[in-house]
Amino acid sequence: MRPRPFTFLALVALGTLVGHQLAYGLVASHAAIGHGYLGAVAALVVPLGFLAMGVVGLRLSGAGVERIGPWLATVASTQIAVFVLQETLEAAGSGHGAGSVVSQPVFWVGILLQPLVAWLLVAISRRGVEAVRTIGGGDTPAAAAVGVVTAAPVARNVHRPDPAASHRRRRGPPTSLV
């Protein structure tokens, strides 16, 4: 699968943000310096990332490993590169040397988490689309994309008058009593 730029970048941004938060949650028990921008970034990245997950899920639904593997490797390696750049800029922006990040355990944990996060996001995307299709009872990508859930056809007991008996029940329109 050849990634579309918006989808690819939105998914990488979401994955990098999730990996960053996990790394700091696992390793750094205190609030790190230089993360004041993350709230604004998350407000933009999270909705766009979820939208990208839906697109990725639709495009990869039913695809085999031979199709997903190279694309997933590209997403994971790009997430690692973005995470390294992010940590380097955070260190430089907070007055520490840009090279100081390599001595921090959170840096290495974050690098190790990026491929796992990339895989999880793609897996959740695919399973989410499959779940919507299963619940909806259809296999239409358009219905799954917008979350349309259709019910299975229900046998309806529709009253159809007997044509032979129709002469007995003829009524005119209601008339005014006044």
User: The dihedral of CA 95, 101, 106, 110: what is its sign?
Assistant: positive
Q: How many CA atoms lie within 13 A of 168 on its CB side?
A: 5
- Per-residue tokens: 137: 């009872």
Per-residue b or e along 120-157, where b marks 16 or more CB atoms closer than 10 Å to that residue's CB: ebbeebbebbeebbeebebeeeebbeeeeeeeeeeeee
- Amino acid identity of residue 29, one-letter, is S
Residue 18: alpha-carbon gap to chain centroid: 13
pTM for the whole structure = 0.67
Residues 130-168: pLDDT tens digits? Answer: 777 777 765 555 554 555 454 555 555 566 666 666 565
Look up residue 96 and give its DSSP letter: S
- Do residues 16 and 24 make contact, with C-beta atoms less than 8 angstroms apart? no
**Please, what is the average pLDDT of the chain?**
78
148 within 8 A of 136, measured Cβ to Cβ = yes
Q: Which residues contact 171 (CB under 8 A, 6 or more apart)?
A: none
Which carries the bigger pLDDT value, residue 109 or residue 142?
Answer: 109
The one-letter amino acid code at 75 reads: V
Which pLDDT score, from 0 to 100, does residue 69 have? 81
